Amino acid sequence: MKRHLNLTVNSEPRQILVEPYYSLLDMLRDELHLTGTKKGCDEGDCGACTVLLNGVPVTSCLVLAHSAHDAEVTTVEGLATREGLHPVQQAFAEYGGLQCGFCTPGLIMSAVGLLEKNFDPTEEEVRYAIGGNLCRCTGYTKVVQAIMAAAEQARP
Amino acid sequence: MARFEYLEAHTVRQALSMYRRHAPNVRYVAGSTDFLIRSRMGNWNPEYVVNIQHIPALQRTSFSRRNGLRLGALTTVQTLQDHESVQTHYPALAAAAASFAGVQVRNLATVGGNICNASPAGDTLPALLAFNAQCLSTGPEQGEQRSTALDEFFTGPGRTVLEPGELLTEIRLPRPEPNTGSLYIKHSPRGAMDIATVGVASAVTLAADRRTCKDVRIGLGAVAPTPIRAYAAEGILRGNEITPESLAACAEEARNTASPIDDVRGSAVYRKEIVGVLTLRTLERAVEMARDGTMAFETQRRLAVQAAF
Ligand SMILES: Cc1cc2nc3c(=O)[nH]c(=O)nc-3n(C[C@H](O)[C@H](O)[C@H](O)COP(=O)(O)OP(=O)(O)OC[C@H]3O[C@@H](n4cnc5c(N)ncnc54)[C@H](O)[C@@H]3O)c2cc1C
Ligand code: FES
Ligand code: FES
């Protein structure tokens, strides 16, 4: 039976009716219609479903929706502001960090998660941080360039 | 989609009683990274899950030079990687965490789940064996507590000594000995997001002369039905001088201890060979660390995954 779940999604407090067996990913896509977060494998392997849960990147297909009660969730839809794109989004666009775009929301959330922890990453650290994100198009070179550029821009 | 009812416990006692009420069609979940996969594959079909992730008593992590390291069962793999005391005093465990999946899974996966899931390839397990970990658990009936050496915890692939409903609560690692070094190396086809073909953790303690091996413990992963200690190999080195020959003899014995199987990640013959190679490499690095103090974590992380591609 569906039950109420209270949590904050992209800075907005929400109360949602969710099945007990739903994943956070299915809840975001099916109940909140936040379809920016992608379902690639539903097995934790591809990283397309990456969101920030209480500030850290997680594969939302591996999280039970009800376990996220009272949590803060940030999806790719929560990054842009009235002023424009998030610096990481902007850099992906400028550096050609995407082709088909399916992996992009996940990669961007992993990058945002990295930069919150480490605003001056080496290229090796960037590659390690996106080790859990698969991209079948770009070959990662431009993805890494974009994240390095975003980091540089974000540095005080 | 697999369907189940969701229950959430906030204390150990509550978890045990929820489990009792719904046994046998019930399963605990912590990070749920193994659970949701098995549930979607149809291997695990409980009617109820009891989520233990929000039990504060299982979330505590502490270190003191006197008591060693205490890890609440819910300590995440990412916490193991980042924790300063783990990096400093139990480096093989931090390296094991660094070799584990990607950051998104490390932020969810718990050390208790890695132990209870009892995969022969579980990445934290060889290092925990090499540090003589003890597992504290609370029984399902009267809430009785017991402590089991990790070495006696696994009974087969996916099987442990825990009774149905018994909860693993804490993992204790004895205090670090001076002049000790340790490292875990995982060998897998891919450099990220793969399961170990072979994983080896070695911890070496040198005597005051810095030449004699005072103590050594070696944990092997993915080469037997459970993670194992290479006792015979340890016996060759313990009490003897560290020389290239004694290290090689020890590694050769570890190779003989392994009883791996053929699977998609490697043949049994190949795995045995790799056990010898990784045992020697982890021993050499452990001796280096025991002599020179620490090794930068970045270096350890680089060494921790040695991929085929
Ligand atoms: C994409 C992906 C990559 C992975 N990569 C790796 C890897 O590189 N290395 C590796 O070792 N593993 C890996 N795993 C496996 C998994 O993440 C680990 O085994 C993890 O540590 C399990 O912890 P959890 O908290 O998620 O367990 P859960 O899924 O919550 O539980 C696992 C099992 O343990 C039981 N359990 C959990 N906690 C307790 C407790 N305190 N007391 C009693 N029973 C308990 C549960 O009932 C269940 O049967 C990976 C998994 C995925 C999906
Ligand atoms: S959909 Fe979650 S990791 Fe692929
Ligand atoms: S841009 Fe197509 S999968 Fe990455």
Give all strands of the β-sheet with B26-29 in edge-to-edge order.
B5-8, B48-51, B26-29
Can you give the residue ranges of every domain in chain B? 5-51, 57-173, 180-306
Which of B103, B106, B110, B298 should we substitute to test contact with A (largest number of A Cβ atoms within 10 Å)? B103
H/E stretch holding A7 reads strand A3-9
Which of A1, A6, A21 should we substitute to test contact with B (largest number of B Cβ atoms within 10 Å)? A21
Does B191 sit within 8 Å of A132, measured CB to CB?
Answer: no
Q: Tell me which fold the domain B57-173 belongs to.
A: 3.30.465
CB within 8 A of B209, min separation 6: which ones? none
As given in the structure block, the two tokens for residue B80 are: 């193991």
Residue showing tokens 């091996």: B213
In this prediction, residue B218 carries a pLDDT of 98
In this prediction, residue A14 carries a pLDDT of 98
For residue B37, the chain A residues in CB contact (below 8 A) are 43-44, 62
CB of residue B98 inside a 6 A radius of ligand 1 = no
pLDDT of residue A84 exceeding 90, the answer is: yes
CB within 8 A of B239, min separation 6: which ones? B212, B213, B214
Counting runs of H as helices and runs of E as strands, what totals does chain A give? 5, 5
- Shortest Cα distance, chain A CAs vs residue B301, angstroms: 10
CB within 8 A of B150, min separation 6: which ones? B115, B125, B128, B129, B132, B133, B134, B135, B171
> Considering chain A, what percentage of its residues have pLDDT values greater than 70?
100
Asked whether the CA dihedral A149, A154, A155, A156 is positive or negative, the reply is positive
Q: Please identify, in words, the CATH class of the domain defined by B5-51.
A: alpha beta
Nearest CA in chain B to A47: B104
Fold equal for B57-173 and B180-306: no
CB of residue A61 inside a 6 A radius of ligand 2 = yes
**CB-count exposure of residue A82 (10 Å: 0-12, 13-18, 19+):** exposed
Which of B36, B192, B301 minimises the CB distance to A132? Answer: B192
**SS3 category, B215:** strand
Domains and CATH numbers, chain A: 3-78 (3.10.20.30), 87-154 (1.10.150.120)
In this prediction, residue B186 carries a pLDDT of 97
Does A64 sit within 8 Å of B102, measured CB to CB?
Answer: no
Q: CA–CA distance from A29 to each of A35, A67, A102, B84, B116 (Å)?
A: 5, 17, 15, 38, 32
Does B33 sit within 8 Å of A64, measured CB to CB?
Answer: no
Of residues B296, B214, B222, B216, the one with CA closest to residue B263: B222
In this prediction, residue B294 carries a pLDDT of 78
As given in the structure block, the two tokens for residue A30 are: 């099916």
The per-residue pLDDT for range A43-66, each reduced to its tens digit, is 999 999 999 999 999 999 999 999
What is the rounded CA–CA span in Å between residue A92 and residue B82? Answer: 28
Q: In sequence order, what are the beta bridge partners of B206?
A: B213
Query: Where does the pLDDT of residue A156 fall: very low under 50, low under 70, confident under 90, or very high at 90 and above?
Result: confident
Q: Mean per-residue pLDDT for A4-27?
A: 98
Does B78 sit within 8 Å of A131, measured CB to CB?
Answer: no
HSE-CB at B64 with a 13 A cutoff on CA atoms is 2
Q: How far is the CA of B178 from the centre of ligand 2 (A)?
A: 43
Which residues of chain B, if any, have pLDDT below 70? 309
What is the rounded CA–CA span in Å between residue B100 and residue A128? Answer: 11
What is the rounded CA–CA span in Å between residue B185 and residue B200? Answer: 6
The answer to whether A82 touches B24, Cβ cutoff 8 Å, is no
Counting runs of H as helices and runs of E as strands, what totals does chain B give? 12, 15
Of residues B168, B106, B105, B164, the one with CA closest to residue B137: B168
The answer to whether A32 touches A14, Cβ cutoff 8 Å, is yes
Query: Would you say domain B180-306 falls under CATH 3.30.390.50?
Result: yes
In this prediction, residue A35 carries a pLDDT of 98
pLDDT of residue A113 exceeding 90, the answer is: yes
Q: In sequence order, what are the beta bridge partners of B221?
A: B199
